[in-house]
Amino acid sequence: MVWVRLRAKWAVLPVWAKWVLALYMIGFADGTADNVRWMTNGGIHAYASSYPQVPIQVFFVILVVADPLIVVLLGLVRREGIWLACVVMVLDIVANWVGNWSRIRHDPGPNVPWLITFFGVFVLACAPPLTPTLVKARAASLP
């Protein structure tokens, strides 16, 4: 029964919304893998050598749980996934720019977090049209 409803939600989504959700999910799955790699190499203090600010280190550790949660929520076609994705991306962009600022000022080329920034802008730009689309998909899939 759950799979039938989930499949119905995905079926009523417009093609553009399916692509956006897929890109969101790929991006956050990649973020999950990156954070797990960092944690595997250094444990809870994996970010200490690159990011001396403790709040940024804590945020990156939290992403080990938040990123896969976003993937699951989006896979279930839940608008909460979009909201959480927006919050995480704003914080992630700020954390990466603040954490890398001294390196960016010294040598901007390889140290600027462009990929995170572009993905964050994509997430934030697509959220307003995507949210009501998911609400409609949920309503259309209810019996």
Report, as an integer, the average pLDDT of 23-36.
95
Closest by CA to 123, choosing from 89, 84, 75, is 89
Q: How many Cβ atoms from other residues are within 10 Å of residue 36's Cβ?
A: 15
Cα–Cα distance measured from residue 78 to residue 5, given in angstroms and rounded to the nearest whole number: 12
Model pTM?
0.89
More confident residue, 2 or 72: 72
Summarised one tens digit per residue, pLDDT across range 86-140 is: 999 999 999 989 988 877 777 777 767 889 999 999 999 999 999 999 988 877 7
Question: Locate tokens 């897929």: which residue?
Answer: 22
Cα–Cα distance measured from residue 133 to residue 19, given in angstroms and rounded to the nearest whole number: 13
pLDDT, residue 111, reads 65
Task: Specify which of 5-9, 11-15, 17-21, 52-56 reaches the highest per-range mean pLDDT.
Answer: 17-21
- Which helix (H) or strand (E) segment holds residue 53: the answer is none
pLDDT, residue 6, reads 81
pLDDT, residue 2, reads 76
Cα–Cα distance measured from residue 74 to residue 3, given in angstroms and rounded to the nearest whole number: 15
C-alpha angle 127-131-137 in degrees, rounded to nearest 5: 140
Summarised one tens digit per residue, pLDDT across range 31-86 is: 999 989 988 888 877 777 778 888 988 998 999 999 999 999 999 999 999 999 99
Cα–Cα distance measured from residue 58 to residue 91, given in angstroms and rounded to the nearest whole number: 12
